[in-house]
């Protein structure tokens, strides 16, 4: 449960960065009559990219941690210290993080190449 809470905090922070960067980008490109400056658009893209990178590291940490827990459980069972044969269920938090990662990557592509649902 600790690993899921850690990943949820990474998701929360990444979602904040991605949504804030995307909001800045959309506001500057749609709400203003004049063309947005390159610096502010780059800043928005960097915020989204930072959120995506943070999410990638959070997912990697979670997967490594869960593999370690599974290995430890297997070793304890082999030594006869525990008798359970249950497996760890798929983490809904991890699934949510992967979905957010895909959305963040689509946002970066849309913001930089103007393609897809997140473009201008």
Please tell me the total count of domains within the chain: 1
pLDDT interval class at 24 (50, 70, 90): confident
Is position 107 within any domain?
Answer: yes
Is position 118 within any domain?
Answer: no
| Helix orientation angle between 38-78 and 2-26, rounded to the nearest 10 degrees | 170
For the residues 58-83, what does the mean pLDDT come to? 86
Is position 120 within any domain?
Answer: no
Is position 119 within any domain?
Answer: no
Is position 109 within any domain?
Answer: yes
Model confidence, pTM: 0.80
Question: Are 118 and 109 contacting, i.e. CB atoms less than 8 angstroms apart?
Answer: yes
pLDDT interval class at 33 (50, 70, 90): low
Tokens of 60: 């990697």
For the residues 34-55, what does the mean pLDDT come to? 85
Which residue range forms the structural domain that includes residue 52?
A: 2-113
Mean per-residue pLDDT of the chain: 84
Is position 65 within any domain?
Answer: yes
Give the contacts of 117 (CB within 8 A, at least 6 positions apart).
106, 110
């Amino acid at each position: 449960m600790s690993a899921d809470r850690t990943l949820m905090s990474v998701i929360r922070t990444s979602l904040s960065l991605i949504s804030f960067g995307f909001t800045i980008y959309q506001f500057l490109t749609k709400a203003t009559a004049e063309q947005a400056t390159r610096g502010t658009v780059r800043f928005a893209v960097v915020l989204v990219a930072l959120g995506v990178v943070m999410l990638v590291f959070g997912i990697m940490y979670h997967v490594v941690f869960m593999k370690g827990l599974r290995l430890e459980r297997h070793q304890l069972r082999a030594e006869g210290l525990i008798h359970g044969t249950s497996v760890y269920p798929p983490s809904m938090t991890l699934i949510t993080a992967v979905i957010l990662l895909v959305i963040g990557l689509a946002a970066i592509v849309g913001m930089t190449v103007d393609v897809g649902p997140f473009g201008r």
